[in-house]
Structures are given as structure tokens and as C-alpha cells.
């Protein structure tokens, strides 16, 4: 699906799973699409994640339309999923254009004008599929000495890639739990500070991944969940070892409020 600038094209911003699936769906209906991504390749946030991080849901829930996600086990890592997204783009004939979208404006008579790296082009519609990865939220930390390494969860590359010593994880969501598990399993002393503590759910119930029990939620009408989706909840994290490490004293959890700043 070659890039195009005709009025019939739909501009898709972002080449992660959502952007690629939209582009493939449009192509299947005979609609041209122009996929623009700042990296110029498929993968989105999965290109930047620590490859060993595991996706929380089973692989069968993460495949995109038109190409099965073959996995050796029930789950895949971020690195494996990135490779799948690259295969998906090739399989669907999706070309990803490197560029930064600077402006989107409505055109008189319908459609949009999309400016990419200073070059305007017409589009019949625009799909924004950029996700949240590029907009990390930082806490308002006090000034720390240069001997202390401070990173956002998006920059985590495994225990061996960072300075030795005690690890403080701020937050109680899925990323915080998995980073704490990895650091503690590597022998680090780990402290987790979270405003409401850490919310955990068992990964499996009666031998099946919890996601499989709640698959019916995909068929719930969107209007029933509008209030829930309108607020930014912290979803419970799957417990694949956190509670065991906490109970043994290798992870300590503290209820603490850290002011946010962008």
C-alpha cells in the first residue's frame, strides 16, 4: 500500500498495532491509506520497549486481522511482538512513511490538510493511532545527586543494564509490578511507592488465563463503559511472582503520594 497524497487517502498517524490494523482494514475495503510514523518503520512503542517484557494477555488476544500471531508458548515478549508487527506490515503490503505530523486542519468542502515535516497534503480522513508511549508522566522528584540513576519505566532495559543497588519503583501499575519482579528476582532490594498500594489479580483462574474468563467484555456496548473509559484508571497487574517476592521481604510496598509533573 504505497503512500499517497490524493483526496481519497486516509492519513493514519502511527505504525503500532492500532495504526497497522486500521491501514490493513482500509486496504481490504479498497481505501488508500498513508501511514506516517516518526520512526518510519512498523512497531510503534514495541520498538522501544525492553524486549524481555512480557505482554500481559495471551498471544491469541494480540494478533491483528489477517495474520495469526504464532507463538511458541501462551505469551509473547515485547521483542517477539515487535517482530510480528514488522511481519504484519510486510504481509499486508503496508509502507510506513517516516515523518512528524505538525498540523491537521479541516479543509473547506470536507476532508483535512495534514502537514508532515512542512509538506501539506490532502486526506479524506485522519486516524490518530499514536498511543501514550511518547508522553510519559514524571513525578516531581527532589533534586538528586548524579550517583542516583533516574529513569522512566519506558527506559527500563533489565536489571543488568542499570546501576547496582536498591531500586525504588514509583507507581503500582503493570509496568511497575513487572519491573519490581525482575529487579527482585535478580537479587536487588526493591521498594515500591504507590498512592493506593499495588493492585494485583491472579494471572490464572482454574488453570486458565484471567483474560479468557473476561473475553465476553469485548462484546459489551461501548456506551456501557463510557464512564469507566473516561477516567484514567490504574489497572490491576497480573501476579506472576510479585506477591511471593513481597511476602519473602524481597519487595517492600509503601503507600506514598508523589506529586506528578509532565
DSSP state of 159: G
pLDDT of the residue at 76: 95
Q: Looking at 69-78, 149-158, 205-214, 221-230, which range is the least confident one?
A: 221-230
- The whole-angstrom separation of Cα 119 and Cα 99 is 10
The structural domains of the chain, ordered by start, are: 10-128 (3.50.50.60), 138-261 (3.50.50)
CA distances from 177 to 42, 189, 253 (A): 28, 14, 11
Nearest Cα to Cα of residue 201 among 230, 167, 158, 172? 172
pTM: 0.83
**What pLDDT is recorded for position 4?**
40
What is the model's pLDDT at position 133?
Answer: 82
pLDDT at 2: 39
Of 12-16, 109-113, 202-206, 254-258, the poorest mean pLDDT is in 254-258
Adjacent-strand bridge partners of 192 = 169, 253
| Pair 65, 21: CB distance under 8 Å | yes
- Whether 121 and 144 have beta carbons less than 8 Å apart is answered as no
Q: What is the mean pLDDT of residues 23-49?
A: 95
Three cell numbers written together for 41 = 518503520
C-alpha span between 88 and 64 (Å, rounded): 8
Name the strand (E) or helix (H) holding 213: helix 210-213
> What percentage of the chain reaches a pLDDT higher than 90?
64
Average pLDDT for residues 60-74, to the nearest whole number? Answer: 93
Q: What per-residue confidence (pLDDT) applies to 5? A: 46
Q: Specify the pLDDT at position 134.
A: 79
pLDDT of residue 138: 82
State the residue for C-alpha cell 463503559. 225
Q: What is the pLDDT of residues 110-125, one digit of tens each?
A: 899 999 999 999 999 9
- Secondary structure of residue 106 in the 3-state scheme: strand
Is residue 259 within 8 Å of residue 139, measured between CB atoms?
yes
Q: Which of 5-14, 41-50, 138-147 is modeled with the greatest confidence?
A: 41-50
pLDDT tens sequence across 72-100: 899 999 999 999 999 999 999 999 999 99
Reading the block at residue 149, the C-alpha cell is 540513576
CA neighbor of 131 nearest in space, from 44, 222, 59? 44
Bridge pairing between strands 167-170 and 190-194: parallel
Helix 17-28, helix 78-92: angle, nearest 10: 20
pLDDT value, residue 234 = 63
Amino acid at each position: 500500500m504505497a503512500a499517497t497524497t490524493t483526496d481519497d487517502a486516509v492519513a493514519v498517524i502511527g505504525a503500532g498495532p492500532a495504526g497497522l490494523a486500521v491501514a490493513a482494514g482500509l486496504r481490504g475495503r479498497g481505501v488508500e491509506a498513508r501511514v506516517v510514523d516518526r520512526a518510519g518503520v512498523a512497531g510503534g512503542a514495541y520498538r522501544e520497549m525492553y524486549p524481555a517484557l512480557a505482554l500481559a494477555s495471551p498471544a491469541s488476544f494480540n494478533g491483528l486481522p489477517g495474520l495469526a500471531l504464532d507463538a511458541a508458548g501462551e505469551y509473547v515478549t515485547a521483542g517477539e511482538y515487535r517482530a510480528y508487527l514488522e511481519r504484519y506490515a510486510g504481509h499486508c503490503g503496508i509502507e510506513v512513511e517516516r515523518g512528524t505530523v505538525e498540523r491537521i486542519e479541516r479543509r473547506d468542502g470536507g476532508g483535512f490538510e495534514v502537514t508532515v515535516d512542512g509538506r501539506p497534503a490532502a486526506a479524506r480522513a485522519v486516524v490518530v493511532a499514536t498511543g501514550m508511549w511518547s508522553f510519559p508522566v514524571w513525578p516531581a522528584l527532589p533534586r538528586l545527586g548524579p550517583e542516583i540513576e533516574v529513569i522512566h519505566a519506558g527506559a527500563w532495559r533489565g536489571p543488568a543494564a542499570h546501576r547496582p543497588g536498591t531500586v525504588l519503583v514509583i507507581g503500582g501499575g503493570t509496568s511497575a509490578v513487572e519491573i519490581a519482579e525482575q529487579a527482585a528476582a535478580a537479587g536487588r532490594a526493591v521498594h515500591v511507592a504507590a498512592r493506593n498500594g499495588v493492585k494485583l489479580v491472579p494471572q490464572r483462574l482454574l488453570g486458565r488465563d484471567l483474560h479468557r474468563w473476561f473475553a465476553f467484555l469485548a462484546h459489551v456496548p461501548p456506551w456501557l463503559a463510557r464512564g469507566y473509559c473516561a477516567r484514567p484508571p490504574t489497572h490491576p497487574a497480573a501476579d506472576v511472582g510479585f506477591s511471593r517476592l513481597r511476602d519473602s521481604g524481597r519487595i517492600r510496598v509503601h503507600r506514598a503520594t508523589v506529586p506528578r509533573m509532565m
